[in-house]
Amino acid sequence: MHRESDIRLPLILGDKTYHQITEDVCRPIENQAPRGWYILISIAAVIALYGVGCILYLIGEGIGTWGLNNTVDWAWDITNFVWWVGIGHAGTLISAVLLLFRQKWRMAVNRSAEAMTIFAVIMAATFPGIHMGRLWVSYWVLPLPNQFGSLWVNFNSPLLWDVFAISTYFSVSLVFWYIGLIPDFATIRDRMTKPLTKKIYGILSFGWSGRAKHWNRFEIVSLVLAGIATPLVFSVHSIVSFDFATSVIPGWHTTIFPPYFVAGAVFSGFAMVQTLMLIVRKVMKLEAYIHTKHIEYMNIVIMVTGSIVGVAYLTELFMAWYSGVEYESYAFLNRATGPYWWAYASMMTCNVISPQLMWFKKLRTSLLFTFIISIVVNIGMWFERFVIIVTSLHRGHLPSTWSMFYPTWVDIGVFIGTLGIFTVLYLLYARYFPVLAISEVKTILKSSGENYKEGFGAGKGYYGADGSHGHHDDHGNEEVSVNRIVEEKAVELSEEALKQNQSTLLERVGSANDSQADDLKLISGVGPVLEKTLNSVGIFTFEQVSKMQSEEYNLLDSLTKSFPGRAERDDWSSQAKDLMNK
């Protein structure tokens, strides 16, 4: 554990211990699910069932039930596919790329982001699957020996690259996710008392026992998987973009597609993570682990990738004009001013303008604003794929073939259905799986926990005055010599000075006695012990506490010595004011 600079904000708020982390994550699994969960999953299940019905109808009738025609032979199917794959990009990016960059804040969101990735990729894979028409021969995409003569799949085709890319991405993400889950399942297994649930989590945890050698292997496996998953993340959406970029259709035939698609995928993936995490942290009461700083970090990623996407849009427009190719120019002119101008305008507004608002710190640290923007970005990124696919196809080289695309109820039903299936899977996950990587979060408690950084509660006395660890340093015998740059809070004062402080304090806040005493324990942050200490100083009433300002807090700290800085941080005086008015 490295000593972390005091300038960095703590990643885990409050006075947490290892046990508290376990409790906080396991609570939703062990308790009855709230009524809202049942309502949500029922609604989602109905939508999912409708979607499955639409898919079955589609398979029965054939893809003629979609709104495709001779000109627009790819539309919502591939739009939805690319949209879902894009969403599936944030999970492995967070867990792999951010692991390589040693970004500790990832630990609060990686588990849920990876779950989102896996479910999103399942939804994505549905679309090419059902687009094949004959789902039962979908194994033909694999290079299997067969009786049709020497008939192999075409290894020159980006569509086949996609088969390999998506299936590799899905299975590697799944393994990465599950390897991380095993120790946490073991934690749940060891807490469960009911035999059946204990048995189930026992099977899921693979008999994990937390041996030193196993942890050693665990860390290397995580690191190596992160190392090979990182290029994998970038390859997947590059290959998805090849589906378009290697064709000769104006509007698709551009070399900037791979980086532009990857940035777009990360952009939309992080937006979906924000949408989900803002709900999860609230409902599951994980605000101490996923707080404004985490949201802000993700908003910065959204801002950067959104800007890359914006630059890519403008580059495309510039190249369409600068290349002098009239077909290319027309494709872009048609996007902006043709019959689908509204889709283009939605895409530009949602994806180019909205991420730029994140430059304002006030906005990117506002949770409500983040939530709204995350949904706006998801809508915008859906329109981006729609614009790229449909507007490029519907007016090709031959004007007599020009056509429009209108979705049918099956198109809409299948898409809405995948949203439903995704929500059902995610709700089940949130109910029965540890949504936070328990064991990983524990490893950052001492370096990034608020109590350890600021030296109160469980973290009191962990770092010596010279910045060294209270117990030991982690790197063999090398000395850790980082200086603490916080002011000394507990200055020893003489008996007389303390008396002086006490009388000054009581002069300022007014004196009281036992008979007038209020129940000071009602102030959050004050327990029975602290109440006694306060009484001994001469503070009995809410009125006294409400008069405290920073100077009085300092006086109080010098007298009690027990919780330096705590009164001010918890804002006792305004709490007391509220309590007085009750």
Partner 1 sequence: MSDTIIYAMYDDDDKLVDGAKMLVSKGIHVNEVFSPMPIHGIDDVIGVRHTRLGIAAFLYGLTGLMLATLGMKYFMIDDWMMNIGGKPSFSYLENLPAFIPITFEFTVLCAAHGMAITYFLRNGTLPGMPATNPDPRTTDDRFVMEIRTSENSKYSASDIQALVRSTDFVELDEKTV
Closest CB to partner 1 among residues 210, 510 = 210
Task: Provide the sign of the torsion angle of the four alpha carbons 395, 417, 349, 262, taken in this order.
Answer: negative
- Please identify which residue in 175, 363, 404, 580 interacts with partner 1, judged by CB under 8 A: 175
Dist CA 121 CA 106 (whole Å):
21
- Interface with partner 1 (CB under 8 A), residue total 75
Within 8 A by CB and 6+ apart from 251, the residues are: 328, 331, 332, 335, 388, 391, 392
**Rounded Cα gap, residues 13 and 478, in angstroms:** 30
Whole-angstrom distance, CA of residue 570 vs CA of residue 456: 13
Residue 217 CB partners (closer than 8 Å, separation 6+): none
| Residues 434-473 close enough to bind partner 1 by CB under 8 A | 438-440, 442-443, 446, 469-472
Binding residue for partner 1 (CB under 8 A) from 43, 56, 135, 220?
Answer: 220
Q: For every residue of 418-448, which 3-state class applies, written as one string?
A: HHHHHHHHHHHHHHHCCCCCHHHHHHHHHHH
Q: How many CB atoms lie within 10 A of CB 79?
A: 23
Bridge partners, residue 159, by sequence: none
203 binds partner 1 (CB under 8 A): yes
Looking at beta carbons only, is 47 or 233 nearer to partner 1? 233
Query: How far apart are alpha carbons 434 and 270 in whole angstroms?
Result: 20
Regarding 70 and contact with partner 1 (CB under 8 A), the answer is no
Q: Quick check: 195 binds partner 1 (CB under 8 A)?
A: no
| Cβ at position 194, least distance to partner 1 in Å | 14
CB of 18 to partner 1, least distance (A): 4
400 binds partner 1 (CB under 8 A): no
Considering the complex, what minimum distance in angstroms separates the CB of residue 114 from partner 1?
14
Rg of the chain on CA atoms, in Å: 29
Q: Which is nearer to partner 1, 181 or 377 (CB)?
A: 181
Nearer to partner 1, 83 or 169 (CB): 169
The stretch near partner 1 (CB under 8 A) out of 112-120, 188-196, 494-502, 534-542 is: 188-196
Report the residue from 42, 103, 171, 500 that binds partner 1 according to the rule CB under 8 A. Answer: 171
CA distance 308 to 122: 27
Find how far residue 219's CA is from the centre of its chain: 22
Pick the stretch among 52-60, 150-158, 297-305, 389-397 that binds partner 1 (CB under 8 A): 150-158
- Given its phi and psi angles, is residue 152 left (phi above 0), alpha (psi -120 to 50 degrees) or beta? beta
Residues forming beta bridges with residue 449, ordered by sequence position = 12
Least Å distance, CB 163 to partner 1, is: 9
The answer to whether 305 contacts partner 1 (rule: CB under 8 A) is no
How is residue 362 written in tokens?
A: 């006030």
Q: Which of residues 3-22 bind partner 1 (CB under 8 A)?
A: 17-19, 22
Site string for partner 1, 221-260 (x = CB under 8 A): x-xxx--xx-xx--x---x--x------------------
In the bound state with partner 1, the residue whose beta carbon lies nearer, of 27 and 217, is 217
CB of 506: closest distance to partner 1 in angstroms? 40
Using rule CB under 8 A, residue 27 touches partner 1: no
Instruction: Give the tokens for residue 371.
Output: 């939530």
In the region spanning residues 124 to 143, those forming contacts with partner 1, defined by CB under 8 A, are: 143
Among 122, 141, 159, 182, binds partner 1 (CB under 8 A): 182
Backbone φ and ψ for 469, nearest 5 degrees, come out as -65, 150
Site of tokens 């694999």: 142
Residue closer to partner 1 (CB basis): 394 or 442 = 442
Question: Exposed, middle or buried, 216 (CB in 10 Å: 0-12/13-18/19+)?
Answer: exposed
363 binds partner 1 per the rule CB under 8 A: no
Answer for which of 102, 134, 194, 213 binds partner 1 (CB under 8 A) is: 213
Under the binding rule (CB under 8 A), the answer on residue 39 touching partner 1 is no
Which class for 105: exposed (0-12), middle (13-18), buried (19 or more C-beta within 10 A)?
Answer: buried
User: Near partner 1 by CB under 8 A, which window of 168-176, 294-302, 336-344, 501-509?
Assistant: 168-176
Instruction: Let me know: does 518 contact 577? Beta carbons within 8 Å.
Output: no
Question: Which of the ranges 99-107, 209-217, 367-375, 493-501 carries the binding residues for partner 1, by CB under 8 A?
Answer: 209-217
Interface with partner 1 includes 569 (CB under 8 A)? no
